[in-house]
Each structure stands twice: as structure tokens, then as C-alpha cells.
Amino acid sequence: MIILALFTVFLLGFPIAFSLGMVSLGQILINDFPVLVVIQRMFTGADSIALTAIPLFILSGGLMYKGGMSKRIVNFADLLLGHFPSGLAMVSILACMFFAAITGSAIAATAAIGGIMIPLMVEKGYDKKFCTPLVACGGSIGPIIPPSIPLLIFGVMANVSVAKLFLGGFLPGLLMGAGLMGYSYVVGKNRGYIGRETKAPSNEVFKAAKDALLALLMPIIIIGGIMSGLFTPTESGTIAVFYALGVGMFVYRELTLSDLWEALRDCAKSTGQVLVVVAFASLFTWVITVNNIPQEVGAYLSAAIGNKYVLLLVINVILLIAGTFIDTTSAVVIFTPLFLPLAKSFGIDLIHFGLIMAVNLTIGMCTPPLGVCLFVSGSVAKVSLKEQFKDLMPMLVVLLTVLMIVTYIPEIVLMLPNFLG
């Protein structure tokens, strides 16, 4: 009844954070618990040193975009791939992957790369109905390639290594990008989306690489520092901010004080939205735990499902459906306490399970009816969701194929964490 009440409130149009709070408060009053529990659990949920990485990664992405780093990444990717059929489309995906390695946000990657690449692709003769969903699907790689805000939240909730989760996201993110680039190549051949007439000279590629070097070094510094133990994932967010600030203001000299203020303001808004959800979700998690709901769900599914492979299929279906209606952060904090005991009981590695959740829910960000990345890219291109639908479907098939590979070949996720210890 608690879960049913929650989704009923969702469908009535209340914001997800307040829906979690309303249902939790109602259950607290019914159980005659002290109302003080509401404040205690919300404060406890948001009071985590690991969560301070969220505003830091959001801010670093904003500083990158406004400081000219995103533009240089796109230019370098264009010189590498622009001569292939559908070259600009492939550049868009590669640029999304580079940007994902810095921000950890699907929305940030979609907005930053879409704002640059969609007008450019349209100018070169690409159909808006193709390039708009393509950038949205490329942006969905943002929370998979480290650093990742959803994986950070999952790591805090599940009490598992955030560094291992970050490492586990590398290969799934690369597979998603490679799949979309392969599909773009096929479409480009069929529709005549011709890239640059000749391959860029090596001296131009070298010059663009040199110009983009400081931007490309940023993910290497962040991930390399985490892997080597020089700093934690949270500390890496601070380094990312100061690095983007220094390069944008003093090297590229494109980041102004007004840009800095705008980036700080946008970061504050986004962080507030995320942490309010996390705080209310902490309260909701406490409510369902004291009512033994995770244990009951686990017992029911354990009795109904004979093995972990069928269980993973069922969880995938549930998360894919939920991801179309609920944003990624909210879905992580709602479903982690429900499915975590079940994953443990079936012997599923929690690093693997965290990536399964993340890939599922990020696909939801580019799936109708509420795929937020589709609305972001659509607003840039002035293309409706209905117009995107036809070209979007094959892209979703590509992403779902990668999801099945990640789900049933755990080595794809666990190879790097195990190899690097």
C-alpha cells in the first residue's frame, strides 16, 4: 500500500521529493511514530561527506562549458572522425563521452554538446529528427562513464566503494558510445550524410589535440588520482572545479566573472534539487525498512523466481519502466533499498548491480514519455517528442542491447575493478 500510495501521488503531479515526504509522513502518523523522526532522517540522509561531490561535479561541468573546454573537445573530435559518413553524428557521441568523463550528468552533457552540435549538424544537412534524439542518447552516457552522480549516490546508500563503481562504469559507457556511433555510421551511409571530403591532415589533428589537451587531461587527472589513492572521489570534485576554473580563466581566458556567477547559480539550483530528493528519500527508506517492505518484496520475488538470471530480467523491466517516469537520482534512492537485500541474497556482486541500475535508469532519461534528455535536446533543436520518435526507436534498441550485455556478462563491469584491485 505504501508503494501504491507513492506512485498514486506521482501520477497526481506532485514533485517526486514532496511525494516521498507526504507518503512517509502519512505512514509515520499512522504508526504513531514521533514526528521528530522526519527531521532526523532527512538530516541524516543529506549529511554525507560523499554527497559533497555532487555540487562539485555539477559546477566543474558548468565551468568547462562556459570556459571553452567543451568547444575544444568538440573540435578535436571533429578532426578525428569528421571525414566518416555521419561524421558529425559520431563526433557528437564522442564529445558526449568526453564530457561525461568530467560532469557525471546526462542533462549537462546533452545541453552542452547539443547546444554546439545540433545546429552544426542541421546546417550540414542532417535531419533534425535524427540528430536530436541522437544527442539525447549520447548524453545518457553521462552517468555511466566516471565520475557519475547516480553511482555516487548508490555507493553511499549501498555502502560500497564509489571508486570501484566508477571504474566499473568505463567499459559499459564505452560500449554505449560505440553502439551509437556504429548505428550513426550505418544511417549516414544509407541517407547520404557525408562528412568532410578528406581526412584532416595530421598537423591539424595535432594542433587541435594540443589546443584541447588541458580539457582532455581533466578526466585522466580525476580518475587517475582516484585509482592511485592520491585523493577520494569527493576530493576529486574539488580538484575538477579548481582545474576548470584555472584553465577557463587564465589559460583559455574565456571564463568571465559573470560566467562564474551564472555557473555557481545553476549549480546551486541543481544541487538543491538533488539533495532535497536525497533527504526525503532517506526518510522514505527508513519508513519502508521499519515496515519490513524490502524483506517482504525479497521474500516474494525469491519464492516466485528460481534463479538470479530471471531475477535480473525482472529488475531490468521494472527499472526501465520506472526510468521513463522518474528521474535517475530519485529512482536510485527509491529502488536501491528495495532491491539491495534481494541482490545480496542471490549472490549478485553489488558493483555489478549498481551499474545495472545506472544503465537501466539512464536509458530511461532518453525514453518517452518523460525522458528528460529528449526534452533538453528537443528544446535546442525546436523538435517535438513525437517528431523524434521514429529515429529514436533504433537508438534505444542499441542501448537495450548494451544493457543485456552488461547484465549477463558481469566481467564487463568487474574487469577493471578486479584488475586494479
pTM (2 d.p.): 0.78
Nearest one of 164, 159, 155, 115 to 135, comparing CA atoms: 115
Is there a domain that residue 265 lies in? no
In Å, what is the CA distance from 106 to each residue of 327, 341, 366?
A: 11, 28, 10
- Per-residue pLDDT, averaged over 215-237, amounts to 77
Residue 267: per-residue pLDDT: 84
Q: How far apart are CA 154 and CA 162, in angstroms?
A: 8
Residue 399: per-residue pLDDT: 95
Sequence-distant (6+) residues with CB within 8 A of 124 are 88, 193
Residue 212: all three cell numbers together: 584541447
Sequence-distant (6+) residues with CB within 8 A of 360 are 315, 316, 319, 320, 323, 403
User: Vertex 255, ends 253 and 261: CA angle to 5°?
Assistant: 155
* Maximum C-alpha span of the chain: 73
Structure-model confidence comparison of residues 39 and 225, the more confident one: 39
Of these ranges, 53-67, 86-100, 139-153, 254-268, the one predicted with the greatest mean pLDDT is: 254-268
Residue 72: per-residue pLDDT: 84
Is there a domain that residue 83 lies in? yes
- Give the long-range contacts of residues 21-28, CB within 8 A, separation 24 or more: 21/280, 21/283, 21/284, 23/284, 23/287, 24/280, 24/283, 24/284, 24/286, 24/287, 27/2, 27/287, 27/291, 28/287
Of the pLDDT bands very low, low, confident and very high (cuts 50, 70, 90), residue 369 is: low
Q: How far apart are CA 274 and CA 23, in angstroms?
A: 19
Residue 105: all three cell numbers together: 550528468
Residue 208: per-residue pLDDT: 84
Per-residue pLDDT reduced to its tens digit, 5-62:
777 777 777 777 788 888 888 888 888 888 888 888 888 877 777 677 778 877 887 7
Q: How far apart are CA 131 and CA 88, in angstroms?
A: 9
Whole-number percent of the chain with pLDDT over 70: 97
Is there a domain that residue 27 lies in? no
Q: Which residue has the cell 580539457?
A: 215
Is there a domain that residue 347 lies in? yes
- Average pLDDT value over all residues in the chain: 83
Structure-model confidence comparison of residues 201 and 258, the more confident one: 258
Is there a domain that residue 93 lies in? yes
Residue 356: per-residue pLDDT: 95
- Per-residue pLDDT, averaged over 375-404, amounts to 89
Residue 103: per-residue pLDDT: 67
In Å, what is the CA distance from 243 to each residue of 69, 220, 228, 247, 314?
A: 11, 12, 19, 6, 43
Is there a domain that residue 368 lies in? yes
Residue 176: all three cell numbers together: 554505449
Is there a domain that residue 319 lies in? yes
The torsion region of residue 238 among left (phi > 0), alpha (psi -120 to 50) and beta comes to: alpha
Residue 370: per-residue pLDDT: 65
- Per-residue pLDDT, averaged over 234-248, amounts to 86
Residue 406: per-residue pLDDT: 96
| DSSP-assigned states of every residue in 5-47 | HHHHHHHTT--HHHHHHHHHHHHHHHTT--THHHHHHHHHHH-
Residue 326: all three cell numbers together: 522518474
Count the domains in the chain.
1
Whole domain around residue 120: which residue ranges? 48-255+291-419
| Predicted confidence (pLDDT) at residue 393 exceeds the cutoff of 80 | yes
Q: Which residue has the cell 587517475?
A: 224
Of the pLDDT bands very low, low, confident and very high (cuts 50, 70, 90), residue 421 is: low
Residue 296: all three cell numbers together: 517482504
| Predicted confidence (pLDDT) at residue 398 exceeds the cutoff of 90 | yes
Residue 392: per-residue pLDDT: 92
Residue 123: per-residue pLDDT: 82
Is there a domain that residue 213 lies in? yes
Helix axes 2-11, 257-290, angle to 10 degrees: 150
Per-residue pLDDT reduced to its tens digit, 135-160:
989 988 888 988 788 888 899 888 89
Residue 405: all three cell numbers together: 550485455
Q: How far apart are CA 299 and CA 296, in angstroms?
A: 5
Contact 118, 380 (CB under 8 A): yes
Residue 215: per-residue pLDDT: 79
| Predicted confidence (pLDDT) at residue 104 exceeds the cutoff of 80 | no
